[in-house]
């Protein structure tokens, strides 16, 4: 099989993986090819609007597992292919020097056994790092159930590693991916967390101590394949951040690929809006100091589809508003819809020299369309409507597009 056919099969098989970030590590070129930038660089955007930063590809799609939601599961009758390590390393370098990509995101189906697959992955990484002196970004997926010694070895070569948690609860994982065990996944995450900490500590004392997964670990879960609520998903997400110092938890709206009684029907559209709202909430957890329990509660376990989670929260807590821009603390500013970390920072630095007026609020980067109902500037309330939940909701929810009535 030629490289072109392999690329076709194995790129198509990797597209459901979400993460493509190349951020979190900074490294200069020391006499080879490539470097890494902590801010990350996107190189292209595919037809679905998702960014392409890394060459996201499977080493092989020949899987011994039979996860129900997955295209590559054993019982599917599809074309199978595997890259030779040399072939893939060469492809990566050739794409990289043309500036198509920022690095490699290598994942693989479980071929023969988890250890066999992990060893093959390590072979590719070793080739890239040692033979080609490649210093670009490498993200590696941990094959669940692989030996800790192999994970350790891969971690010394990669920039980021990820163990996919796949489902928000153990029951859903049991149901949909019976061969994967949650405790095993958690054990790998814990190992990564511990090793990252140890190596970071070492580097504080020894400048040349090896780096271990310097860009941290991430994970991803599928949304909409099981019946779990948004609250459950956010609570799991929150605990992943707390327990394993995750850099990111990714969500992927489930795209039906297999016919199965336990899964949504094949014609179901992927729940893109739900995914979007979950990501907004994820941002609230990471950058806005929110708790999952503030965003949702057992009574209201699903996110508002009409409003973003922060606005929805603010409307539920109108007793806290309006907030005076010139007196509020950073934490209070962050809670105002339409104000983010950057504009909050600007407000704080500018008001050290001059009070912020309504007009200036717009210039400082606040989204005035949302912020106006929740703030006062020098005592002036810019929103022209009374501050009550029904009114604000009515104003902020975009009107549904008008549709020509059908005659019949």
Partner 1 sequence: MDYLYDGSFEGLLTCIYYHYYREKASGIYQQEYYQPALMTDSTEVITDPMLAARVSTAIEQKISKTSLDLVYRVFVSSAANKEFLILHYLRWGFRLGAKVDLYYSHPDVYPLQKIAHKVTAEVHRFLGLLRFADAGNFLYAVLSPDHYILPLIADHFADRLAGERWIIHDRKRDLAVVYDGHHAAEDSARYQRQWYITDFPHPGPLLFTQKEQYYQKLWQLYFDKIGIESRCNPRLQAQFVPYRYRGDLVEFKPIFIKNDG
Pick from 75, 77, 98, 404: which binds partner 1 (CB under 8 A)?
A: 98
Measured from the CB atom, the residue of 41 and 187 that comes closer to partner 1 is 41
The answer to whether the beta carbons of residues 164 and 143 sit under 8 Å apart is no
Nearest partner of 161 among 173, 174, 150, judged by Cα: 150
Q: Does 55 bind partner 1 (CB under 8 A)?
A: yes
The residue with tokens 């991916």 is: 177
Task: Please tell me the distance from the alpha carbon of residue 317 to that of residue 315, in angstroms, as a whole number.
Answer: 5
Measured from the CB atom, the residue of 125 and 356 that comes closer to partner 1 is 356
Please count the residues of this chain forming the interface with partner 1, following the rule CB under 8 A.
62
Q: Does 86 bind partner 1 (CB under 8 A)?
A: no
Measured from the CB atom, the residue of 95 and 186 that comes closer to partner 1 is 95
Instruction: Give me the least distance between CB of 351 and partner 1, in Å please.
Output: 9
Q: Does 102 bind partner 1 (CB under 8 A)?
A: yes
Instruction: Give me the least distance between CB of 373 and partner 1, in Å please.
Output: 21
Pick from 146, 278, 364, 377: which binds partner 1 (CB under 8 A)?
A: 364
Pick from 142, 346, 373, 382: which binds partner 1 (CB under 8 A)?
A: 346
DSSP state at residue 380: B
Q: Does 401 bind partner 1 (CB under 8 A)?
A: no
Task: Please tell me the distance from the alpha carbon of residue 168 to that of residue 232, in angstroms, as a whole number.
Answer: 7
Task: Please tell me the distance from the alpha carbon of residue 344 to that of residue 55, in angstroms, as a whole number.
Answer: 36
Tell me the per-residue interface mask from 125 to 164 with partner 1, x by CB under 8 A, - otherwise. Answer: -----------x----------------------------
Measured from the CB atom, the residue of 254 and 313 that comes closer to partner 1 is 254
DSSP per residue, 91-102: HHHHHHHTTS-S
Q: Does 270 bind partner 1 (CB under 8 A)?
A: yes
For 34, other C-beta atoms within 10 Å of its C-beta total: 21
DSSP state at residue 105: E
Strand partners, 103: 54, 137
Which residues in 279-308 contact partner 1 (CB under 8 A)? none
Measured from the CB atom, the residue of 104 and 392 that comes closer to partner 1 is 104
What residues contact 7, with CB distance under 8 A and at least 6 apart? 57, 91
Strand partners, 44: 52
Q: How far is CA 367 from CA 254, 325, 364, 371, in A?
A: 31, 14, 9, 6
Note the residues at the interface with partner 1 (CB under 8 A): 1, 3-5, 7-9, 11-12, 14-16, 28-29, 31-35, 37, 39, 41-53, 55-56, 79, 91, 94-95, 97-100, 102, 136, 253, 255, 269-270, 272, 346, 349-350, 352-354, 356, 359-360, 363-364
């Amino acid at each position: 099989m030629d490289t072109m056919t392999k690329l076709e099969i194995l790129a198509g098989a990797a597209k459901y993986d979400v993460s493509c970030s190349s951020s979190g590590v900074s490294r200069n070129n020391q006499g080879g090819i490539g470097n890494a930038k902590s801010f990350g660089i996107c190189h292209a955007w595919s037809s679905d609007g998702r960014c392409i930063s890394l060459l996201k590809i499977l080493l092989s799609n020949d899987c011994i597992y039979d996860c129900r939601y997955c295209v590559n599961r054993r019982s599917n009758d599809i074309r199978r292919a595997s890259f030779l390590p040399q072939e893939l390393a060469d492809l990566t370098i050739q794409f990289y020097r043309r500036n198509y990509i920022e690095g490699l995101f290598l994942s693989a189906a479980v071929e023969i056994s988890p250890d066999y697959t992990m060893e093959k992955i390590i072979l590719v990484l070793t080739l890239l790092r040692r033979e080609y002196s490649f210093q670009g970004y490498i993200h590696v997926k941990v094959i669940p159930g692989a030996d800790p010694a192999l994970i350790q070895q891969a971690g010394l070569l990669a920039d980021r590693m990820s163990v996919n948690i796949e489902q928000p609860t153990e029951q859903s994982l049991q149901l949909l991916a019976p061969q994967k065990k949650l405790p095993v996944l958690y054990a790998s995450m814990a190992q990564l967390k511990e090793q990252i900490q140890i190596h970071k500590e070492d580097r504080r004392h020894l400048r040349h101590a090896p780096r271990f997964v310097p860009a941290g670990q991430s994970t991803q879960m599928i949304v909409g394949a099981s019946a779990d609520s948004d609250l459950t998903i956010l609570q799991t997400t929150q605990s992943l951040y707390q327990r394993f110092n995750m850099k990111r938890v990714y969500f992927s709206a489930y795209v039906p690929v297999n016919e199965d009684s336990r899964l949504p029907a094949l014609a179901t559209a992927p729940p893109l809006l739900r995914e979007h709202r979950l990501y907004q909430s994820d941002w609230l957890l990471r950058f806005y100091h929110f708790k999952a329990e503030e965003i949702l509660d057992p009574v209201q376990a699903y996110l508002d589809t009409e409003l973003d989670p922060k606005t929805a929260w603010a409307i539920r807590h109108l007793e806290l508003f309006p907030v005076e821009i010139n007196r509020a603390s950073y934490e209070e500013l962050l809670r105002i819809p339409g104000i983010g970390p950057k504009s909050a920072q600007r407000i704080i630095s500018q008001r050290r020299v001059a009070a912020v007026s309504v007009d200036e609020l717009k210039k400082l980067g606040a989204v005035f369309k949302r912020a106006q109902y929740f703030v006062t500037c020098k005592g002036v309330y810019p929103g022209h409507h009374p501050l009550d939940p029904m009114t604000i909701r009515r104003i902020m929810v975009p009107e549904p597009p008008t549709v020509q009535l059908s005659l019949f």
